Each structure stands twice: as C-alpha cells, then as structure tokens.
C-alpha cells in the first residue's frame, strides 16, 4: 500500500530553500537598516555642527546677570591658551573680551565631547565653565578657530566645528564654518 506524504529528501530540499530565502531577506533588511542609519547619522551630525556654531556666535546667557555677550560684540580676541592667550597656541580655544572688557572663552571639554563657555560669575573672580553643548553618544567634537587673512584680519575670527561618529564601522562627519566680524573692534 502506498502512503502519500513527503520524503526525507523533499523535506531537506524545502528546508534548505526556505533557509536561503530567509538569509536573503535578513540581508536585505540589514543593508536597509545600515543605509538608513548612515543617512540619519550624517544628517544629525551636520545639524548638530550648525547648532554648536550658532551657540558660539550667539553667546550664552550669563548667570546671575542674565546678560548675553555675543562673539560679534567682542572688542578684541586671541586664539590660544593661558593668561590672555600668552600661553600655548591652541586653535581649539578662542578668547574674547566683551564690551564690559571681561575675558570670556570657548574651548573643548571632556574627551572632546563638549563645548565649554567660560564667563564671569558674581562672587567668583576666576569665572565659571559652563557646558553649552554635549556631543551625541559616541561622537567627538573638533573646534578650529583662526585669524583670516585679508583686509581686516584683526577684526575677524574664523570658526569651524566638526562632529565625527563611527557607525557600523564607517566614519561620518558633519561640519560648519563661518567668519565672524567683531563689530566693536577699535
């Protein structure tokens, strides 16, 4: 008597074909995820670099006075570290003096993951460091300040911000650059 059903060979072939199709489907979704995440990461880094640059240009609200001292209101500036930029040259640190003739500066903090704004604070002659931006998890922040050449190099400060992040073994960056005119420059 003959019984209907599948033979062992037919079951093995069907199982192998199913596994191959599932692996192909998984790879399709994995590649789609990588491409989507890469695009989102690139866009997020580009947007964040613009935000950091805006924070540098617009300045921060200082406590407790509530005053805002923008970079463009600076009367003078220098690029470097130490007492009034007499220290080591560092293109990642920008010092400037507001209309009140008090020194303020921007620099990297942490392990190049945050932007620090140093400003005066009541009751503390040394001033205070305030973190005004923290990079996304796994990203690093790079600052570059420079003195542009040209007709009025002493009245302009160049700034460039780059954020870098490694996702799925690939390096992604977003950057923004500008030159700020110091309007109150003598």
31-59 pLDDT, tens digit per residue, is 898 888 888 988 999 999 999 998 888 87
Q: Give the Cα separation of 164 and 5 in Å (integer).
A: 59
Q: What pLDDT is attached to residue 186?
A: 45
Q: Could you tell me the two tokens for 151?
A: 């007709």
Q: What pLDDT is attached to residue 102?
A: 82
Q: Give the Cα separation of 13 and 8 in Å (integer).
A: 9
Q: Give the Cα separation of 94 and 81 in Å (integer).
A: 8
pTM of the model: 0.74
Break the chain down into helix, strand, coil percent, rounded to 5: 30, 35, 30
Q: What pLDDT is attached to residue 137?
A: 87
Q: Could you tell me the two tokens for 77?
A: 């500036």
- H-state helical runs in the chain: 8-58
Q: Could you tell me the two tokens for 83?
A: 């007492």
Angle at 31 between CA 27 and CA 35, to 5 degrees: 170
Residues in the chain where the model's pLDDT stays below 70: 1-2, 63-65, 81-89, 149-154, 182-186
């Amino acid at each position: 008597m003959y019984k209907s059903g599948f033979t062992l060979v037919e079951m093995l072939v069907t199982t192998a074909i199913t596994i191959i199709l599932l692996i192909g489907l998984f790879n399709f979704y994995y590649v789609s995820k990588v491409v989507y995440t890469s695009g989102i990461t690139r866009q997020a880094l580009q947007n964040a670099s613009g935000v950091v640059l805006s924070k540098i240009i617009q300045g921060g609200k200082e406590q407790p006075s509530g005053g805002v001292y923008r970079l463009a209101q600076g009367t003078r500036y220098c690029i470097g570290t130490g007492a009034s930029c007499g220290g080591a040259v560092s293109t990642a640190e920008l010092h400037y003096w507001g209309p009140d003739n008090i020194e303020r500066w921007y620099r990297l903090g942490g392990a190049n993951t945050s932007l620090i704004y140093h400003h005066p604070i009541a009751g503390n002659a040394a001033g205070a460091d305030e973190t005004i931006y923290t990079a996304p998890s796994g990203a690093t922040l790079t600052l570059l300040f420079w003195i542009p050449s040209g007709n009025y190099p002493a009245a302009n400060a160049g700034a460039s911000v780059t954020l870098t992040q490694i996702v799925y073994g690939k390096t992604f960056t977003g950057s923004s650059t500008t030159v700020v005119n110091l309007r109150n420059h003598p």
